[in-house]
C-alpha cells in the first residue's frame, strides 16, 4: 500500500468516525435542548428631546439565541422597519437603526423595534443593548437611553 | 563443450560459470576457500532478518505518515467548516471618515443618514460624490446606502 493509499484510507476512517459522532449527537440534542421562539422589544428614551435618529446594538450575551426577524416599533412616526444588516440574522447580535425627517418627532420612551428570536438550549438567555447614537431634529447627538424588555416566549 | 552462451546458459548456472572463465579466475586468484554450509545458512538468515526488519519499519512509517496526514486533513476541514459559525462581532464606529460621514464626526451612523435624507427631501444642492449607488442621481436610494452602511456588522464588541 502506498503513502497516498494510506492517506486516503485514514481520511475516510476519520470522516466515518466524525459522521457517526455527528449522527449520534442530534438525537441527544433534541431530547435535552428545548427550542422556543421569543421577542425582545427595544426602546429609546430621549427624555424631553425630540428623537429624529437612533441606532443601537443588540446582543445575546448568554444562551443559544438566533435573531430571526425584525419589525418596526409602535411609534407611527417611525413607520418603516429599522435598517439592519441581514448578516446579523441567524446570529446573536445585530445593529439596528432608523431616522425620521418629519416635523412631528417623538419624545420620551418609545418602542423603536421588536426582535424575534429563536432560543434553543436549556440556558436562560441574557441580553445587552448599547445605544450607538441618537440625534435630534437638527442632527445633533443627544443623550438618550437604550433599553429592552423580553416578550412572551412560545 | 560448446562455448556458445545461448546454448550453455543453464548448464553454466548450475556449475557456477563457464569452465574457461572459472579456470582463468582460478589461475589468477587461486582456488576459492571452502565455506561451511552452516555459515552460509547463518549469513542468509541474518540477511533475511534484516530485510524483514527494514520492511516492517518501512510499513510503520508509511502508516504513520498516512494517519497523520489524514488527521491533519480532517482537522483542516473541521476548522474550515466551523469558521462561518463564529459569532459575528460589530464595531459601530469606524475611525475613517468617508463621503458618507456627513457630519464629519469620524463614523458613519444613522445621524449621517438622517442629515442626507433631509437634504434630499429639501432638494438642496446635492454633491455628486453622494451618488453612492452610482445610478447618476442623488436620491433616497443613496440615503439607504448610508443607512445600511451605518448598521453594517463589521467587527468589535459592545461598548
Q: Helices B37-83 and A3-32: crossing angle, nearest 10°?
A: 40
Is the pLDDT confidence value at B140 over 80?
yes
Confidence of residue B130 (pLDDT cuts 50, 70, 90): confident
Q: Which of B71-85, B124-138, B142-156 has the lowest mean pLDDT?
A: B71-85
Ranges of chain A whose pLDDT falls below 50: 27-30
Please give the residue of chain B at the shortest CA–CA distance from A8.
B70
Residue B132: which H helix or E strand, with range? none
Rounded CA separation B119/A99 (Å): 13
Please give the residue of chain A at the shortest CA–CA distance from B86.
A91
Q: In angstroms, what separates the C-alpha of B73 from chain A's closest C-alpha?
A: 7
CB contact under 8 A, A88 and B66: no
Per DSSP, the three-state class of B68 is helix
pLDDT for position A14: 57
* Mutation choice for A interface testing from B59, B153, B155, B159 by most A CBs within 10 A: B153
Is the pLDDT confidence value at B94 over 50?
no
Identify whether residues A3 and A51 lie together within a single domain: no
Cβ pairs A/B, distance under 8 A: 129
CB contact under 8 A, A93 and B88: yes
Residue A115 grid coordinates: 426582535
Identify whether residues A17 and A39 lie together within a single domain: no
Is the pLDDT confidence value at B139 over 70?
yes
Confidence of residue B29 (pLDDT cuts 50, 70, 90): confident
Residue B47 grid coordinates: 540477511
CATH of the domain at A108: 2.60.40.680
Identify whether residues A45 and A90 lie together within a single domain: yes
Is the pLDDT confidence value at B53 over 80?
yes
Q: Which domain holds residue A7?
A: 1-32
Identify whether residues A44 and A26 lie together within a single domain: no
Is the pLDDT confidence value at B31 over 60?
yes
Rounded CA separation A54/B7 (Å): 105
CB A115 within 8 A of CB A78: no
Residue B84 grid coordinates: 462561518
Rounded CA separation A149/A107 (Å): 19
Q: In angstroms, what separates the C-alpha of A153 from chain B's closest C-alpha?
A: 23
Is the pLDDT confidence value at B157 over 80?
no
pLDDT for position B75: 87
Rounded CA separation B117/B140 (Å): 7
pLDDT for position A34: 78
Domains identified in chain A, total number: 2
CB contact under 8 A, B90 and A95: yes
Rg, Å, chain B Cα set:
44
Please give the residue of chain B at the shortest CA–CA distance from A131.
B159
Identify whether residues A121 and A66 lie together within a single domain: yes
Residue A112: which H helix or E strand, with range? strand A109-120
The reported pTM is 0.58
The number of CA neighbours under 13 Å toward the Cβ of B146 is: 31
Per DSSP, the three-state class of B2 is coil
Q: In angstroms, what separates the C-alpha of A3 from chain B's closest C-alpha?
A: 5
Q: In angstroms, what separates the C-alpha of B100 from chain A's closest C-alpha?
A: 14
pLDDT for position B133: 87
Please give the residue of chain B at the shortest CA–CA distance from A12.
B70
Tell me the pLDDT tens digit for each residue of B114-128: 999 998 998 877 888
Residue B93 in contact with partner chain A when CB distance is under 8 A: yes
Identify whether residues A67 and A12 lie together within a single domain: no
**Mind giving me the DSSP string for A47-92?**
TTS---EEEEEEEEEESEEEEEEEEE-S-TTS-SPPEE-GGGTTSS
Rounded CA separation A8/B67 (Å): 9
Domain ranges (residues) in chain B: 1-32, 36-86, 88-159
* Option in A85, A93, A99 nearest B152 (CB): A85
Identify whether residues A3 and A73 lie together within a single domain: no
Residue A22: which H helix or E strand, with range? helix A3-32
Identify whether residues A43 and A98 lie together within a single domain: yes
Identify whether residues A7 and A71 lie together within a single domain: no
Residue B116 grid coordinates: 442626507
Residue B159 in contact with partner chain A when CB distance is under 8 A: yes
Identify whether residues A73 and A22 lie together within a single domain: no
pLDDT for position B91: 46
Rounded CA separation B24/A33 (Å): 92
Identify whether residues A120 and A135 lie together within a single domain: yes
Tell me the pLDDT tens digit for each residue of B64-89: 888 888 888 888 887 777 655 444 44
Tell me the pLDDT tens digit for each residue of A65-99: 989 999 888 777 777 889 998 888 888 889 999 99
CATH class of the domain at B88-159: mainly alpha
Identify whether residues A58 and A104 lie together within a single domain: yes
Amino acid at each position: 500500500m502506498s503513502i497516498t493509499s494510506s492517506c486516503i484510507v485514514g481520511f475516510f476512517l476519520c470522516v466515518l468516525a466524525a459522521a457517526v459522532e455527528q449522527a449520534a449527537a442530534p438525537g441527544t440534542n433534541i431530547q435535552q435542548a428545548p427550542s422556543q421562539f421569543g421577542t425582545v422589544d427595544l426602546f429609546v428614551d430621549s427624555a424631553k428631546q425630540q428623537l429624529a435618529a437612533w441606532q443601537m446594538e443588540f446582543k445575546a450575551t448568554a444562551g443559544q439565541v438566533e435573531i430571526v426577524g425584525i419589525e418596526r416599533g409602535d411609534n407611527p412616526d417611525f413607520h418603516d422597519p429599522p435598517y439592519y444588516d441581514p448578516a446579523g440574522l441567524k446570529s446573536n447580535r445585530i445593529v439596528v437603526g432608523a431616522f425620521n425627517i418629519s416635523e412631528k418627532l417623538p419624545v420620551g420612551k418609545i418602542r423603536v423595534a421588536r426582535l424575534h428570536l429563536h432560543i434553543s438550549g436549556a440556558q436562560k438567555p441574557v441580553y445587552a443593548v448599547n445605544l450607538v447614537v441618537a440625534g435630534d431634529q437638527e442632527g445633533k447627538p443627544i443623550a438618550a437611553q437604550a433599553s429592552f424588555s423580553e416578550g412572551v416566549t412560545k | 563443450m560448446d562455448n556458445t552462451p545461448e546454448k550453455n546458459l543453464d548448464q553454466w548456472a548450475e556449475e557456477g560459470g563457464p569452465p574457461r572463465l572459472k579456470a582463468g579466475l582460478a589461475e589468477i586468484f587461486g582456488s576459492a576457500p571452502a565455506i561451511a554450509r552452516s555459515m552460509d545458512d547463518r549469513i542468509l538468515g541474518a540477511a533475511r532478518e534484516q530485510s524483514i526488519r527494514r520492511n516492517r519499519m518501512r510499513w510503520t512509517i508509511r502508516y504513520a505518515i498516512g494517519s497523520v496526514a489524514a488527521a491533519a486533513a480532517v482537522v483542516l476541514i473541521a476548522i474550515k467548516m466551523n469558521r462561518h459559525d463564529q459569532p459575528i462581532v460589530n464595531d459601530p464606529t469606524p475611525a475613517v471618515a468617508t463621503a458618507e460621514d456627513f457630519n464629519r464626526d469620524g463614523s458613519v451612523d444613522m445621524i449621517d443618514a438622517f442629515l442626507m435624507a433631509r437634504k434630499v427631501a429639501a432638494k438642496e444642492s446635492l454633491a455628486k460624490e453622494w451618488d453612492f449607488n452610482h445610478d447618476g442621481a442623488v436620491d433616497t436610494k443613496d440615503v439607504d446606502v448610508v443607512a445600511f452602511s451605518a448598521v453594517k456588522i463589521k467587527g468589535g464588541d459592545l461598548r
